[in-house]
Structure 1
Amino acid sequence: MSRLAEFRVAEKALAEQLAHLESLKNDSALKKEIEFEEQLKKLMSEYGKSLKEVVSILDPSSSSETRKGAPAGGQRKARELKIYRHPHTDEVVETKGGNHRVLRGWKDEFGSDTVESWRQS
């Protein structure tokens, strides 16, 4: 593409973006949202509250401390050790994750459900 053609394409895209921006400026719903945001920020600064604090006040269940499954200390629960025993070879695999090389090979060869039935604990 020549530089002139590239310029014309960019110019056209800019004109379209400017037209879209103008239509957004005249949108009454957008004006209400902007007004709400400004008033909310003013209120937050007046009371010295952050957005995170406001959200935790309005929706306590969304707080990371009270999220279901999330420990209060902020650290994950240690993964449990899983032991698999191959019934034909009696080979044993101990893993805390599902990305063990031998276990992946077994799952590829025999299928995930079959290998899960080999789980000892």
Structure 2
Amino acid sequence: MSRLAEFRAAEKALQDQIAQLESMKKDAGLKREIEFEQKLLVLMKDYNKGLREIVAILDPKTPSKAPAPTSKQHRRPRVTKVYENPHNGELIETKGGNHRGLKAWKEQYGSDTVETWLRA
């Protein structure tokens, strides 16, 4: 297809879309939906509510997959665990199970045994 033919096809498609847009602007149902959306956005702003909160209010049975972006949820800080090796008295303090020394102990003595070394 030549560049001129492409241009004319794009121009015709644009004219068709403009005609469709004009007919949609005259639709009373669309006008009501636009008015509703604008009023809803103003209400949401006035009451500081997000879309997820509005849905939760109107339909509480609908499960939300993610927390609302307006509320910041913080993870509970991890507790420091202290393990004491009874064989040599060595201490390991860790907030997770990814500590190199703790892994070595679990490999050498077994995970269940090492978990009994946890100080209360």
Normalization by structure 2: what TM-score? 0.52
Q: Which whole-Å CA distance do the structure 2 matches of 1:34 and 1:56 have between them?
A: 22
Aligned match of 1:3: 3
Is there any run of 5+ residues in structure 2 with no aligned partner, and where?
66-120
Q: Deviations over 1:16-66 (max 9, x none)?
A: 00000000111100000000000000011111100100000000000337x
Over the matched positions of the two proteins, sequence identity in percent amounts to: 62
Q: Deviations over 1:73-116 (max 9, x none)?
A: xxxxxxxxxxxxxxxxxxxxxxxxxxxxxxxxxxxxxxxxxxxx
Summarize the alignment of residues 16-27 of structure 1 with structure 2, pairs less than 5 Å apart. Answer: 16-27=16-27
3-state DSSP of counterpart to 2:61: helix
Aligned match of 1:51: 51
Is there any run of 5+ residues in structure 1 with no aligned partner, and where?
66-121
Aligned match of 1:42: 42
Structure 1 runs of 4+ with >2 Å offset: none
- Which structure's CA Rg is the greater one? 2
Aligned match of 2:93: none
Given that 2:25 and 2:31 are in contact with CA atoms closer than 8 Å, whether structure 1 keeps it comes out as: yes
How much is the aligned-residue C-alpha RMSD, in angstroms?
A: 1.1
